[in-house]
Amino acid sequence: MITEQLDFTGRTAIVTGGGTGIGYATAMQLARLGADVVVAARTVDELEAAAKRIADASGSRCIAVPTDVKDEEAVIRMVEKTIEEFGRIDVLINNAGGTRMGPLESIPTRGWDSIFELNVRSAYFCTREAGKQMIAQKSGSIINISSGAGENGVKGGAHYSAAKSALQMFTRVTAAEWGRFGIRANCVAAGAIASERVLDAWKVAGLDADEMGAAIPLGRTGTPDEMANMIVFFASDAASYITGQTIGVNGGPALGGIQLD
């Protein structure tokens, strides 16, 4: 039954960027489905408060492990702490990411590199280190969080589009190499997901969320919980024969053509 396949009792999940937005929503869902959860991010107070809310709401164990995922040694310590506390790693959600937009001709080299460090290199660190435990267990599920920019590109985000596209290919190759160990790797590409921080960023950029939503086939922007639904599905036994895939949670495709009434 599908309900049994969504049971995470006895499993441990790491969620990077787990203190807010999509990461927080995903960590909360996993905990409510029985998982022990490690949430990781840089902002200590915010992260610890999130871990407490998740534990109180779910009854599952949830610990905060402050981590800069761009720092290789910090990622190693995060994984070691997870094993120390829970003894295993069953799910890894590489959710930490982000960008600063700008025209291609003015993106500095350091700015380009920093976007790849945050969106690709960090996922490599986390996957490699958590993967060692998953390989030993002969099981595991890895979900990388991408963006529609990685599928279609976005003007003003050449570095971000390239990084998220790279993350999607990294997902595909991870699935191909590690399937023999019982490890699955999939990717969820976010569309216009209106988390609190994203809404703030849209306001700064002069973007109106309602106008953006009106241009989407379903007529609205998405929520962090709607992203989390797909992430949790990929992490669960309900997706046991799905690996190497990227799926968009975006409210539908934007197509050209004639105007329809």
Order of strands, sheet of 36-40, starting from the edge strand that comes earlier in the sequence = 62-64, 36-40, 12-16, 91-94, 140-147, 183-190, 246-249
Which residue of the set 24, 124, 160, 241 is catalytic? 160
- One-letter amino acid identity for 155? K
d(C-alpha 224, C-alpha 258), whole Å = 32
Which sign does the torsion angle of CA 238, 173, 27, 99 carry?
negative
Determine the 3-state secondary structure of 254 from DSSP: coil
Would residue 24 show up in a list of annotated catalytic residues for this protein?
A: no
Dig out the tokens for 33 from the structure.
């489905």
The single residue listed with the structure tokens 């402050």 is 66
Cβ-contact 26, 3 below 8 angstroms = no
Active-site residue numbers?
160
